[in-house]
Structure 1
């Protein structure tokens, strides 16, 4: 199985990239064009059967942004299983609530940096 860029997910990834949430678009402005310490990030990147919000291959780092839809027990359990699955593949996954991106961007960027190897 192809681990990255699964062909069946390409149309959905493209749609997600064209319709970023406000928090994703705000954070993407800080990550695109290697703006964060020269690291290249991809948005809406597929790993196995998941599409992650942001991915930095050189760091094996995944960043997920969580809005209100993630704030219920069923979604939290699903997110936990997804996180465990991806971490078992050797990736580091960090999550931020959307409001953190808007209200405390410097600390979000610092936490991302702290996960660089």
Structure 2
């Protein structure tokens, strides 16, 4: 991990989007259950919005710019790299964080549960 990446990640933590702040408030409460999330985490050449290392899960909150072809292609490359590193990737839309938080949390919980099941299998 390069020094500029660490510096950028720290800066991003200080200026999280309202959507990230809202989801972060919920993810922090899962620490008591053993799910420790970190925010704005450098992984390889990327900085992911949220990561839980046990099980390996990345959560990305996407705004409307991610619906364009260029962003979709870049996101697919990024997701493929993260998956090759053993991470599950859950992508949620900004507006779902406000309009469907229960659905977002259910999708994240399902991915966490699936990751735990995979860890237990030989």
Q: Which runs of 5+ in 1 are unaligned?
A: none
Query: Secondary structure of the equivalent of 1:56?
Result: strand
Q: Alpha-carbon deviations, 1:69-90, whole Å to 9, x = none?
A: 2121001100011001110111
Determine if contact 1:30/1:36 at 8 Å carries over to the other structure.
Answer: no
Q: Within the alignment, does 1:57 sit opposite 2:53 as a pair?
A: yes
Using the size of structure 2 for normalisation, the TM-score is 0.86
Aligned length: 113
Say what the alpha-carbon RMSD is for the aligned residues: 1.5
Shift of 1:68: 1.6
Using the size of structure 1 for normalisation, the TM-score is 0.90
Matches for 1:1-117 after TM superposition, within 5 Å: 6-35=2-31, 37-116=33-112, 117=116
**Structure 1 or 2: larger helix share?**
2
Deviation beyond 6 Å, 4+ runs, structure 1? none
Q: Alpha-carbon deviations, 1:4-48, whole Å to 9, x = none?
A: xx4331110011001111110100000125357431100000111
Query: Secondary structure of the equivalent of 1:113?
Result: helix
| CA distance in structure 2 between the aligned counterparts of 1:82 and 1:62, rounded to whole angstroms | 11
Q: Which runs of 5+ in 2 are unaligned?
A: 117-122
